[in-house]
Amino acid sequence: MKQRRQFLKRVGGVAALLALASPGKARMKITGEMEGSFVHVVFFWLIDHSQEVKQKFEHELRSFIDNVDFIRTRHIGTPAETDRDVIDNSWSYSLILSFESKKDHDLYQADELHKKFIENASALWKKVQVYDSIKL
């Protein structure tokens, strides 16, 4: 039962974050669908929540994603103040990116800026969880 509850929390969290990931203009569309066919969702658990660590992490993250051409849409978030059984808000930051295709996602993974981000920021987190999905 505990595993099922944890799974539901993760799925619920991912669904909620995906709903937030669309840029303002896309949210106005009647369909409400994200742009691109590949979505990359990343959760980060920082080693601590000091202002210094958060500022460094945010700087490294923004320096990276603001300069990668393959990204279609982007969203950086922190846990919302919600409290239900299906919600996991134990993480520190989320990153939701969409890409036109899996090929673009793969190019993003190989990009030197992505590698530099991992090198510069990996000491700031204790855990990372990734969920990738393709549009039906």
Spatial contact of 113 and 51, defined as CB atoms under 8 Å apart: no
Spatial contact of 62 and 8, defined as CB atoms under 8 Å apart: no
Pick the CATH number of 2-134 from 3.30.70.100, 3.40.50.1820, 3.40.640.10, 1.20.58.110: 3.30.70.100
Angle 51-65/112-121 helices, nearest 10 degrees? Answer: 170
- Report pLDDT digits (tens) over 50-97: 999 999 999 999 999 999 999 999 999 999 999 999 999 999 999 999
CA nearest 15: which of 85, 86, 76?
A: 86
**18 or 41: which carries more pLDDT confidence?**
41
| Domain parsing of the chain, residue ranges | 2-134
d(CA 113, CA 116): 5
Question: How is residue 42 annotated by DSSP?
Answer: E
- Report pLDDT digits (tens) over 84-132: 999 999 999 999 999 999 999 999 999 999 999 999 999 999 999 999 9
3-state secondary structure of 101: coil
